[in-house]
Amino acid sequence: MGRKAESWAAVEGSVNSQLQDAEVKAAAAAERDRSINERLSQTSSLINVLEAQMSCLRAVQTQLTRSLEKERQKQAENWQEYLALKEEADTNEGISSFVKIQVSCMVHFVSCYRVRGSSEFYRSVFLCKARGRKVEEVVSAELEREKAAGLDQERLFAFKRLFYLIKAQKQSSSCFRKWYSQSWYCSPVYSISSRSPIKRFSKNVGEGSLSPYYTKSITPGAFESALRQKQGELASYMSRLASMESIHDSFAEELVKMTVQCEKLRAESSLLPGLRAELEALRRRLSAALELMGECDEELEELGADIIDLKMYREQVNLLVNKTCCYLGDEFNNGCCVIGDFITWAILSVVVS
C-alpha cells in the first residue's frame, strides 16, 4: 500500500507538473494568440490603406488619361491652326512677290514709254510746226496773189475759210500738245501708239501742202470739199483724243487699284512676324505638354507594374501559408495564418517603401 501511495503521489506530482506546464503553455499560447490577433488587425488595416491608395491611384490614372486626351485634342487643333496659318502665310508671300514683280515690270514699261513718247512727241511737234508754217505761208501768198489779181469775192471767201481752218488746226494742235505734256508728266502710265494722231496730222498737213499750180487751178467747190475733208479729219482727231483720254483714265484707275492692293499686301506681310512668333509659342507649349504626358505615362506604367507585383506577392504568400498549414496540422492553423499575414504585411511594407 505504501508503494502504491508513493507511486500515485509520483504520478500525481508528474501530472501536476504536466498540468502546470500545460497551463504555462496555454497562457503563452493565449498571449501569442493575442499578439497575433493584434498583428492581424494591423495587417488588415494596412491592406485597407493599400486598397484605398490603389483606388486613389486608379482615380488619378483616369484623370490623367482624360487630361491626356484633352491635350491630344488641343494638339490636333493647334496643328490644324498651324497648317492653316502656314498656308495663308505662303499664299500672302506668293501674292506679294507677284505684285512686286508686276510693279517692277510696270515701272520699266512706263520708263520705256516715257522715253519713246517724249522723243516722238518732240519730233511730231517739230514737224507739225514746220509744215504748218509752210502751209500758212502758201495760203497767205495765194491770198495776196488772189487779192492782187482781183478775183471775185467767192474765191476770196473760200481762201479765207481755208486760212482760218488751218489756223484752227494749228490752235488745236497746240492745245493737244499742251494737254499731252500735262498728262504725260502728271500721270505715271500713258500708252503712246507708234502711229500717233499728231504724226498722222503732220503727215496729212504735209501731204496737203498746196502747190502753186494747184492753188491757181482750184475752184471754190474744190475748196469747199477740201474744207469739209479737213473738218472731218479734225473731228476724227478730236474723237481719237477723247478715246486716248478715256484710256489714260482707265490706266490711272488700274494703277490706283494696284497700288491699294500692294499696300494691303504689305500690311498683311507685316503681320507675318507676329504670326510666326505665335506659332513658335504654340510649338513650345506643345513640346512641354508632350513631355508632361510622357512623364505621366511613365508614372502610370510604374504604378501598374507595382500593383501587378503586389498582387503576385500576395498570391505567393497565401499559397505558402496554405502549404505550411497543411504540413503542420490543424493545431497550428490559426498561428500559421497569423504568421502568413505577418509575412504578407512585411512584404507589402517593403514593396511600398
**All 3 cell numbers of residue 235?**
473731228
Q: What is the pLDDT, as a whole number, of residue 171?
A: 60
pTM for the structure as a whole: 0.30
Q: What is the pLDDT, as a whole number, of residue 122?
A: 67
Taking each helix axis as running N to C, give the angle between helix 220-270 and helix 197-207, from 0 to 180 degrees, rounded to the nearest 10: 160
Tens digit of each residue's pLDDT (9 = 90 or more) over 28-45: 878 887 887 788 778 778
Domain boundaries, the chain: 29-87+280-352, 91-272
173 burial level (CB within 10 Å; 0-12, 13-18, 19+): buried
**pLDDT tier at 142 (50, 70, 90 boundaries)?**
low
User: Does 313 score more than 80 pLDDT?
Assistant: no
Tens digit of each residue's pLDDT (9 = 90 or more) over 201-245: 344 434 444 444 444 455 666 767 777 787 787 788 788 888 888
